[in-house]
Amino acid sequence: MDFLPLFCQLQHKPVLIVGGGEVAVRKARLLLDAKARVTINAPHLEHQLMSWAEQGLLTVCAADFHPELLDGKWLVIAATDNPEVNHQIFSEASLRQTFCNVVDSPAHCSAIMPAIIDRSPLMVAISSAGAAPVLSRQLREKIEAMLPQHLGQLATLAGRLRERVKLIPDKLARRHFWERLFRHERLARQLARGQQQAAEESINALLNEPQQSKGCVTLVGAGPGDAGLLTLNGLQQLQQADVVVYDRLVSDDVLSLIRRDAEQIFVGKEAGRHCVPQQAINQLLLDQARQGKQVVRLKGGDPFIFGRGGEELETLAEAGIPFSVVPGITAASGCAAYSGIPLTHRDHAQRVQFITGHDKEGNIAQEWSALAAPRQTLVFYMGLAHAGRIQDELQTHGLPGHTPVALVEQGTHLQQRVVRGELQQLAQLATQVGSPSLIIIGSVVTLADKLDWYGEANTLAGM
């Protein structure tokens, strides 16, 4: 982090702008909006600066820069067209421990002026630490279009309600009240239309609702790793959760999207080693929900495809705990797509089968004749430990040894690695990758030669 984002209270605080051109005008306008006491130091000033001075909105020092002007200032902006003067201003400000912004010179800045979206008192600031100001402005334009104008009114309203909401004794209930308030669509429409009386009635009705927190669980699929594959609904649930119970296969990038003050509980499981038994996970979800919390059970991939999501929801249903499900992109779909392997293709496969490497008792699939049928794609989850048997059984039941295979390690991550070969090499290929890895078998694997858009596959010689 090059610069710490910080909102400063500059009301009635003395600040200095050195320079009298168009840039100085832009900076002065922002500082005047912040109600700072602005002094402009420049021999010659733009007309707008003179106009503000005549109105008594700012003070003018029509002379060359001298260091004494920095005394007592909270912030200085160097906006001259002379790099030597700007550097002198920065040096003198540093000696006085005064924040300094040198326009168009990030190396000589102790403070950055961000691109701003103003919905006062709600403010959004975007900065690239001076590296890409045009990009910051473009992002500001996009966010500006997304945020309705009434958000400032809503924030002001929330400030007036704080004391009344503090009377709600339960901490979780208070937070859930605020969430309902900010998601209240009718109230938003009333504020946007200026219907203040109707808005007050909506608020009173919301305050008079029973505020007892009622717990629930949302089962969320995190996708195979790339945080960009998390669904919008999944992101919203992570932002609203009081507690998130997550697995080993949930990527750090996805975890970083969880609301900062939410409790995070790791219950990671991997083949042959369970950190937390399944029954204990089920009980944990029950206990957290019974405390009135909004619980997210975050699982890699899709929780209903070899994710034991159904088992966990059965426990909740039997206990009468409300729940919902947000599907995720399953590993087969994500890893295949990021490897340039379409799971179906009219010239190669009219069917795809997802197979778990082991069932509840640790056994592998038994219907080998059906799995060895032609013109289909097989995807084995958690199959590395049984790669040798998969190879032998499929060949024994008629699938040719030269059938293409791919093993996708860390699929959709930046560290993704794809190892390709033939079915008769599967056991040996499995020793070249680590967990988690997915095994894809079928002639569609050859299409990666043309369609591998994400990164070159590590293909064995002779393929």
247 is a catalytic site residue: yes
| 305 three-class SS | coil
Measured from the Cβ of residue 428, the count of other Cβ atoms closer than 10 Å reads 13
Axis-axis angle for helices 47-54, 22-33 (nearest 10): 40
Note whether 292 and 215 are within 8 A (CB): yes
Structure tokens at 383: 């199959």
- Catalytic residue chosen out of the listed positions 13, 118, 253, 269: 269
Structure tokens at 36: 């700072």
Axis-axis angle for helices 196-208, 185-192 (nearest 10): 160
Note whether 238 and 258 are within 8 A (CB): yes
Backbone angles phi, psi at 458, to 5 degrees: -85, 95
392 is a catalytic site residue: no
User: CA-CA distance, 71 to 257, in Å (whole number)?
Assistant: 43
In the beta sheet, which residues pair with residue 102? 78
DSSP 258-277: S-TTSEEEE--EETTEESS-
Sign, CA dihedral 257-260-262-268, equals: positive
User: CA-CA distance, 414 to 369, in Å (whole number)?
Assistant: 37
User: CA-CA distance, 372 to 202, in Å (whole number)?
Assistant: 63
DSSP 35-89: T-EEEEE-SS--HHHHHHHHTTSSEEE-S---GGGGTT-SEEEE--S-HHHHHHH
CA dihedral 46, 50, 52, 58 (to 10 degrees): 100
- Catalytic residue chosen out of the listed positions 226, 247, 293, 299: 247
- Catalytic site residues? 247, 269
